[in-house]
């Protein structure tokens, strides 16, 4: 949904809410909130306070740190948090603000008071409250592709409900596991000597746009832990990836590896999340797509679905990914070139798609050559994709494992721990 659509929902929703204030519900909510605050105080605030007292006495480390944030109705609030790295623990000092309702358990993220002049921020602060548990924290921790801070905050307000708040609290705990304590991002990251681009989804799309608009031809590949395990053993695949123009990091496993290497990942940029943005951009800029891959009939189904959703999208060709590599490749290249597609999506799975693109690179004419794995299966409905809440807690791989245990058990049950083990081994070897 767009920024504007979210804003409209928010305005309607809060108008309705004002009209029907249910005092009974409000009182029950306040009662449970009070009980919850007392519990937090007993379980966390008091023990943390005592530990920090000792730390101050023996090590001289300050107990608190202070800052100002933007509160409800643009009020600037001074907050004093515990001087700790952990997101939740440090905010358990805010008992007083929780009690007087300046800060909520679940709400928008703690926005900087310097953003006050932004029109969207004003709207967020008019209807929202800063919350210790917030959607932005989850999105940032699990690196799930998002449309930036403002849209995430608007999305929260537009979709806010008791159920959603509860699920936000639950989702925060796995998100804590994936959060990196480092918050400075490098432009390039390296795992197993392969350099990849540490960019956001938006930046990835700009790279695609620039490639087409400047009439260049570039290879865009995604790498996930399974790809990393494959390139660890497959020199040909490694050298193909080394020669790619852009490598995008895909999957929670890459984010965990980046945390281990202390070079945090900015965003999980995968083909499935990128597709809607790519289609919107293609509609606007009149780019054309060729869908090449998957079993017969799948690309066709995908084309139909895409054309229903993006009515101005120009899909100029489709082809299944099962063919005689040596005999048919040159006629397929010809077919793709004749279609005058600007973007070619190749979906044969890793590393076949990267190998085919590299072998035929010189002859292919589309500006963007992209390997997209199982994307056509997902989009055509052939294969169900994990629900958003599962992706938000970094469990998409688990969903795929359940859906196709026979094919996926090696990839995930053996592959995931093997990848992490190799990351540690590589880190030691590189003295990092």
Q: Which of 96, 102, 110 is nearest to 37 (CA)?
A: 96
Please return the burial class of 417, using the count of CB atoms within 10 Å of its CB with bins 0-12, 13-18 and 19+. exposed
Closest to ligand UDP by CB, 37 vs 395, is 395
Which residue do the tokens 């721990």 mark? 417
We find the least distance from the C-beta atom of residue 234 to ligand UDP, in angstroms, to be 14
Closest to ligand UDP by CB, 31 vs 322, is 322
Closest to ligand UDP by CB, 138 vs 298, is 298
Find the farthest-apart pair of alpha carbons in the chain and give their distance in angstroms, rounded.
Answer: 77
We find the least distance from the C-beta atom of residue 379 to ligand UDP, in angstroms, to be 11
Integer Cα distance of 116 and 98 in angstroms: 22
We find the least distance from the C-beta atom of residue 352 to ligand UDP, in angstroms, to be 6
We find the least distance from the C-beta atom of residue 292 to ligand UDP, in angstroms, to be 8
SS3 of the chain: the string is CCHHHHHHHHHHHHHHHHHCCCHHHHHHHHHHHHHHHHHHHHHHHHHHHHHHHHHHHHHCCCCEEEEEEECHHHCEEEEEEECCCCHHHHHCCCHHHHHCCCCEEEEECCEEHHHHHCHHHHHHHHHCCEEEEEHHHHHHHHCCCCCCHHHHHHHHHHHCCHHHHHHHHHHHHHHHHHCCCCCCCCCEEEECCEEEECCCHHHHHHHHHHHHHCCCCEEEEEECHHHHHHHHHCHHHHHHHHCCCEEEECCHHHHHHHHHCCCCCCCCCCHHHHHHHHHHHHHHHCCEEEEEECCCCHHHHHHHHHHHHCCCCEEEEEECCCCCHHHHHHHHHHHHHHHCCCEEEEECCCCHHHHHHHHCCCCCCCCEEEECCCHHHHHHCCCCCCCHHHHHCCCHHHHHHHHCHHHHHHHHHHHHHHHHHHHHHHHHHCCC
We find the least distance from the C-beta atom of residue 308 to ligand UDP, in angstroms, to be 21
Closest to ligand UDP by CB, 149 vs 298, is 298
Closest to ligand UDP by CB, 96 vs 322, is 322
We find the least distance from the C-beta atom of residue 342 to ligand UDP, in angstroms, to be 22
We find the least distance from the C-beta atom of residue 223 to ligand UDP, in angstroms, to be 10
Please return the burial class of 62, using the count of CB atoms within 10 Å of its CB with bins 0-12, 13-18 and 19+. exposed
Q: Given the rule CB under 6 A, which residues bind ligand UDP?
A: 293-295, 321-322, 347-350, 352, 373-374, 376-377
We find the least distance from the C-beta atom of residue 375 to ligand UDP, in angstroms, to be 7
Closest to ligand UDP by CB, 71 vs 371, is 371
Closest to ligand UDP by CB, 264 vs 293, is 293
Integer Cα distance of 149 and 127 in angstroms: 16
Closest to ligand UDP by CB, 110 vs 348, is 348
Closest to ligand UDP by CB, 71 vs 293, is 293
We find the least distance from the C-beta atom of residue 353 to ligand UDP, in angstroms, to be 7
We find the least distance from the C-beta atom of residue 159 to ligand UDP, in angstroms, to be 29
Integer Cα distance of 383 and 376 in angstroms: 9
Closest to ligand UDP by CB, 71 vs 373, is 373
We find the least distance from the C-beta atom of residue 180 to ligand UDP, in angstroms, to be 25
Closest to ligand UDP by CB, 285 vs 305, is 305
């Amino acid at each position: 949904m767009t920024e504007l659509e979210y804003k409209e929902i928010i305005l309607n929703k809060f108008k309705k809410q004002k009209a029907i204030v249910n005092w009974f519900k409000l009182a029950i909510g306040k009662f449970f909130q009070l009980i919850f605050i007392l519990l937090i105080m007993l379980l966390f605030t008091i023990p943390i306070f005592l530990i920090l007292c000792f730390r101050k006495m023996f090590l001289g480390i300050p107990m608190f740190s202070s800052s100002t944030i933007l509160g409800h109705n643009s009020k600037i609030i001074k907050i004093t948090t515990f001087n700790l790295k952990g997101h939740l623990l440090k905010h358990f000092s805010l008992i007083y603000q929780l009690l007087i309702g300046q800060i909520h358990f679940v709400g928008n993220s703690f926005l900087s008071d310097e953003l006050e002049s932004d029109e969207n921020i004003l709207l967020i602060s008019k209807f929202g409250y800063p919350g210790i548990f917030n959607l932005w924290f989850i999105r940032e921790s699990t690196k799930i592709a998002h449309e930036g801070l403002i849209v995430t905050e608007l999305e929260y307000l537009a979709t806010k409900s008791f159920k959603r708040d509860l699920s936000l609290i639950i989702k925060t705990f796995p998100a804590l596991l994936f959060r990196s304590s480092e918050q400075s991002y490098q432009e390039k990251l390296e795992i197993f000597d392969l350099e990849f681009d540490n960019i956001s989804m938006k930046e990835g799309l700009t790279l695609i746009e620039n490639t087409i608009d400047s009439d260049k031809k570039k290879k865009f590949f995604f790498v996930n832990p399974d790809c990393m395990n494959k390139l660890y053993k497959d020199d040909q695949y490694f050298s193909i990836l080394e020669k790619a123009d852009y490598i995008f990091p895909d999957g929670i496993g890459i984010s965990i590896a980046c945390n281990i290497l202390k070079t945090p990942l900015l965003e999980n940029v995968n083909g499935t999340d990128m597709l809607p943005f790519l289609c919107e951009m293609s509609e606007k800029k009149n780019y054309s797509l060729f869908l090449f891959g998957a079993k017969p009939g799948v690309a066709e189904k995908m084309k139909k679905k895409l054309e229903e959703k993006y009515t101005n999208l120009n899909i100029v060709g489709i082809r299944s990914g099962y063919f005689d590599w040596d005999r048919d490749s040159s006629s397929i290249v010809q077919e793709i070139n004749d279609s005058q597609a600007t973007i070619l999506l190749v979906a044969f799975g890793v590393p076949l798609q990267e190998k085919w693109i590299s072998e035929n690179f010189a002859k292919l004419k589309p500006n963007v050559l992209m390997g997209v794995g199982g994307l056509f299966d997902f989009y055509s409905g052939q294969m169900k994709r994990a629900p958003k809440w599962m992706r938000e807690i970094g469990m998409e791989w688990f969903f795929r494992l359940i859906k196709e245990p026979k094919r996926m058990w090696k990839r995930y049950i053996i592959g995931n721990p093997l990848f992490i083990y190799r990351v540690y081994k590589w880190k030691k070897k590189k003295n990092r």
